[in-house]
């Protein structure tokens, strides 16, 4: 669809509205994954917030006979201790989602600050900070997270700490690359020539142009963080029983392997959230990067 | 003559490369009086932008800069960042070549102008800032400034953006405006409007302007004096009119001849044969000698000094030979 020049001029905030318009104009099947992703994530958040008010069973209390296959009373069956798997899975969103979001927010905060300083100041600061990031990145992420979580002791907070330590270097690198690119643009020179001080230059003139890849990456990483957190819980380093955390639940399912339904609920939940966050990230990238669009 | 506003003496810029230092600008003298428009002309790579970036203190730290740059009597070559910051934007401002990239794409132009005003006038209220910004938009002839104030750079055409860039540059009534090829990225009708704005700035605000350009028409229309740079050296410098009428340096003459003229009925455009010497292999003699139609053996031996003729200064071994001046009217 073409719009007339007159209309473009009148739009008050066309950057945003143009992006939204482009988004909406994505046709049929192109839009489907995004709608799916948003629907899954929004309903999970709503469920996680409201579940105590409408759940028929206690997530850590007895709900029925143990190891029951799916039935009308227990849609996803019961586990080895007779707890309802569906209710526990839905309660799990109260642990996994906040962990993913808080880990990402802190990791991005650290990464962005480090990357921005390294890219902006260059020289020794750049070298020291980035070598630090390289050292962290040199370890396989799962192994490093395991080592940290193990040394800090099991528990959700320590898992989060371990994940933050594993994740910040990725954002530091991303931000540094962005800052290095934006720093070369003319408007930054123009600001220097206008007498803008370095701190303000970085925060007001360079960083506002650096966000879009960070945001895209964050969205995609939500799934990754949940996966790794679940992995740590699975091997016993994360949430401890009886917490209805997804990874932990799968671990319980693994010890009753013939009762396939115990691991099905949390497994599907992890799968859906990771998939949705990837869909959302893909869509965000398409919208923010005109070169990737067809 | 009173103390010049900007006085550059013996400026040299060297760029470190893997094969040693390369001299990009050497022994450049250049001065601007208050309220004067000076053209700085030369091909790409002749060092005109480098010299002006040196004035703004914008050259990368590892470049070697020597010589003296005095602004209003104060030495600013090698001055502290802090001192330079106080001058930048307030007393010296700069307009960049490409208006498409010189504005911050994620901020409204109003915000950008206000930022520049507030930076150097911290006491102003919100309303005063807005009023000042609107008056600046008016000064650069932007229609409907009230509406334009809250728009983003991508809603402006190239010419309009260049006006905004100029509005930002003149936000604090600088004494000196350095315009780095301000019209190169614009089409011809827009160029004329920008030229008009520069002319008015000089007239109404007494602003001195350095015009970095390879557009001789722009220099002819606007500048009082001009310097021609070639391979990082001044080849000829003087008042614009005599320089256009009787150039004394073969390079200046070739530049003038290379401008296509509407009266010229010959079939070919006059190009200068060859290319400027690269930084790596400077000839020992006159840098223009390999491309010069008037070169003699002396030109290959030594670099010519700047010699004064009438009101202009020329770096050519044969500048004294009157026949040369007439010969150049009809280039070979």
The string of pLDDT tens digits covering residues A192-247 is 888 888 999 999 999 988 888 898 889 888 888 988 988 898 888 888 888 888 98
Closest-CA distance, B169 to chain A, in angstroms, reads 7
Instruction: Return the closest-CA partner of residue B193 out of B163, B231, B167.
Output: B163
The predicted-structure confidence for B242-277, as pLDDT tens digits, reads as follows: 888 888 888 888 888 777 777 766 667 777 877 787
DSSP state of B280: S
The residues, any chain, with a CB within 8 Å of residue A133's CB and separated by 6 or more, are A114, A168, A169, A172, A173
Report pLDDT for B300: 82
- Residue A91 to residues A46, A62, A160, A275, A276, Cα–Cα distance (Å): 11, 15, 18, 20, 19
Which residues of B lie closer than 8 Å to A, measured between beta carbons?
56, 58, 85-90, 93-94, 96, 98, 101-107, 115-116, 119-120, 150-152, 154-155, 165, 168-169, 171
Average pLDDT, chain A: 85
**Domain spans, chain A:** 99-234+280-287
Contact B104 A187 (CB under 8 A): yes
- The pLDDT assigned to B256 comes to 82
Closest-CA distance of chain B to residue A106, Å: 25
CB-CB under 8 Å, A193 with B101: no
- Provide the percentage of residues in chain A whose pLDDT is more than 70: 87
Q: What are phi and psi of A31, to 5 degrees?
A: -85, -25
Higher pLDDT, B21 or A47: A47
Residue A240: the pLDDT is 84
Question: Which positions in chain A touch B85 (Cβ < 8 Å)?
Answer: 195, 197
pLDDT of residue A28: 56
Length of chain A: 294
pLDDT at A294: 41
Chain B interface test: which of A6, A11, A191, A195 (most B C-beta within 10 Å): A195
Distance, in Å, from the CA atom of B30 to the CA atom of B226, rounded to the nearest integer, reads 9
Each residue's pLDDT tens digit, A63-121? 778 888 888 888 888 888 888 889 899 998 998 889 999 999 999 999 999 999 999 99
Contact A48, A97 (CB under 8 A): yes
- Please give the share of chain B, as a percent, with pLDDT higher than 90: 21
- Looking up tokens 């150039």 gives B247
Cβ contacts of B313 within 8 Å, gap of 6 or more: B234, B236, B237, B238, B306, B307
pLDDT of residue A80: 83
Tell me the chain A residues in contact with residue B93 when contact means C-beta distances shorter than 8 Å.
193-194
Sequence-ordered list of residues with C-beta below 8 angstroms from that of B135, at least 6 positions apart, any chain? none
Q: What's the pLDDT at A24?
A: 58
Residue B29: enclosing H or E segment and its boundaries? Answer: strand B20-32
Report the SS3 class of residue A63: coil
When pLDDT is cut at 50, 70 and 90, the band that residue A4 belongs to is very low
Nearest to A156 by CA among A89, A222, A244, A83: A244
Identify the residue among B71, B87, B100, B101 best suited for mutation to test binding to A, counting A beta carbons within 10 A and taking the highest.
Answer: B101
Lowest-confidence pick of A173-182, B20-29, B147-156: B20-29
What is residue A7's predicted lDDT score, i.e. its pLDDT? Answer: 44
What is the per-residue pLDDT for A20? Answer: 58
| Residues A162 and A154 sit within 8 Å (Cβ to Cβ) | no
Are B152 and A15 in contact (CB < 8 Å)?
yes
Please give the residue that has the higher pLDDT: either B88 or B292: B88
Cα dist from A27 to A33, B276, B322, whole Å: 11, 55, 75
Which residues face B15 on adjacent strands? B22
Identify the pLDDT of residue A23: 57
Average pLDDT of the residues in B95-109: 87
To the nearest whole percent, how much of chain A has pLDDT over 90? 36
Comparison of pLDDT for B175 and B183, the residue scoring more: B175
What is the predicted pLDDT for the residue at B332? 42
**Per-residue tokens: A44:** 């999970």
B71 or B324: which leads in pLDDT: B71
Higher pLDDT, B27 or A120: A120
**Is residue B115 within 8 Å of B130, Cβ to Cβ?**
no
How close B35 comes to chain A (CA, Å)? 20
Tokens describing residue A262: 């115990």
Which CATH superfamily groups domain A99-234+280-287? MetI-like (1.10.3720.10)
Beta strand residue intervals within B83-175, DSSP E = 92-95
- For residues B80, B83, B88, B91, the Cα torsion angle rounded to the nearest 10 degrees is -140
Which pLDDT score is estimated for A144?
Answer: 92
Which residues, other chains included, contact A243 with Cβ-Cβ below 8 Å and sequence gap of 6+?
Answer: A95, A156
CB-based contacts of B257, cutoff 8 Å, min separation 6:
B270, B328, B331
Interval B222-244: pLDDT, tens: 899 999 998 888 888 989 888 88
**What pLDDT sits at residue B265?**
67
Question: If pLDDT is split at 50, 70 and 90, which confidence band does A293 have?
Answer: very low
Chain B CB within 8 Å of residue A185 CB: yes
> Quick one: closest CA in A to B166, which residue?
A190
Average pLDDT, chain B: 85
């Amino acid at each position: 669809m073409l719009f007339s020049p007159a209309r473009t001029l009148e739009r008050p905030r066309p950057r945003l509205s143009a992006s939204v318009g482009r988004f909406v104009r994505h046709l049929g099947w192109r839009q489907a994954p995004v709608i799916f992703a948003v629907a899954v994530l929004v309903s999970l958040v709503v469920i996680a917030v409201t579940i105590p008010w409408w759940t028929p069973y206690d997530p850590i209390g007895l709900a029925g006979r143990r190891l029951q296959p799916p039935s009308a009373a227990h849609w996803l069956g019961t586990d080895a201790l007779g707890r309802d798997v569906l209710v526990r899975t839905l309660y799990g969103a109260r642990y996994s989602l906040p962990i993913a979001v808080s880990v990402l927010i802190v990791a991005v905060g650290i990464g962005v600050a480090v990357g921005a300083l390294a890219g902006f100041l260059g020289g020794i600061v750049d070298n020291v900070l980035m070598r630090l990031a390289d050292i962290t990145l040199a370890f396989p992420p799962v192994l490093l997270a395991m080592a940290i979580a193990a040394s800090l002791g099991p528990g959700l907070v320590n898992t989060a700490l371990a994940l933050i330590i594993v994740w910040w270097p990725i954002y530091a690198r991303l931000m540094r690359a962005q800052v290095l690119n934006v720093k070369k643009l003319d408007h930054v020179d123009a600001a220097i020539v206008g007498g803008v001080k370095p701190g303000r230059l970085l925060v007001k003139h360079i960083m506002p142009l650096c966000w879009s890849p960070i945001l895209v990456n964050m969205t995609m990483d939500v799934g990754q963080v949940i996966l790794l957190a679940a992995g740590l819980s699975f091997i016993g380093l994360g949430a401890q029983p009886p917490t209805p955390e997804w990874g932990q639940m799968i671990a319980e399912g693994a010890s009753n392997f013939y009762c396939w339904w115990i691991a099905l609920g949390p497994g599907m939940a992890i799968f859906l959230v990771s998939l949705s966050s990837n869909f959302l990230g893909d869509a965000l990238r398409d919208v923010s990067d005109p070169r990737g669009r067809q | 003559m009173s103390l010049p506003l900007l006085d550059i003496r013996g400026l040299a810029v060297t760029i470190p490369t893997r094969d040693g230092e390369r001299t990009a600008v050497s022994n450049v003298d250049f001065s601007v009086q208050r309220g004067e428009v000076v053209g700085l002309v030369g091909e790409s790579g002749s060092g005109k932008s480098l010299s002006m970036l040196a004035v703004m203190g914008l050259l990368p730290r590892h470049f070697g800069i020597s010589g003296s740059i005095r602004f209003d009597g104060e030495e600013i070559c090698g001055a502290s960042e802090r001192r330079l910051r106080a001058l930048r934007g307030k007393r010296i401002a700069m307009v960049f070549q490409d208006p498409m990239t010189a504005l911050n794409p994620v901020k409204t132009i109003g915000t950008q102008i206000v930022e520049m005003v507030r930076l150097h006038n911290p006491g102003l209220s919100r309303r005063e800032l807005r009023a000042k910004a609107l008056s600046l938009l008016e000064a650069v002839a932007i229609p409907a400034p009230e509406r334009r104030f809250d728009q983003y750079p991508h809603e402006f055409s190239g010419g309009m953006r260049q006006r905004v860039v100029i509005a930002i540059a003149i936000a604090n009534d600088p004494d000196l405006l350095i315009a780095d090829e301000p019209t190169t990225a614009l089409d011809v009708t827009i160029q004329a409007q920008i030229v008009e704005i520069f002319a008015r700035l000089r007239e109404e605000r007494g602003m001195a302007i350095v015009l970095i350009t390879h557009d001789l028409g722009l220099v002819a229309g606007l500048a009082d004096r001009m310097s021609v740079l070639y391979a990082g050296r001044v080849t000829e410098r003087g008042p614009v009119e005599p320089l256009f009428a009787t150039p004394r340096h073969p390079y200046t003459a070739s530049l003038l001849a290379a401008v296509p003229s509407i009266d010229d009925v010959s079939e070919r455009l006059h190009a200068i044969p060859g290319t400027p010497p690269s930084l790596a292999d400077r000839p020992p003699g006159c840098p223009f000698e390999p491309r010069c139609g008037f070169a003699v053996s002396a030109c290959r031996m030594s670099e010519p000094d700047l010699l004064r003729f009438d009101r202009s200064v020329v770096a050519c071994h044969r500048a004294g030979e009157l026949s040369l001046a007439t010969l150049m009217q009809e280039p070979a």
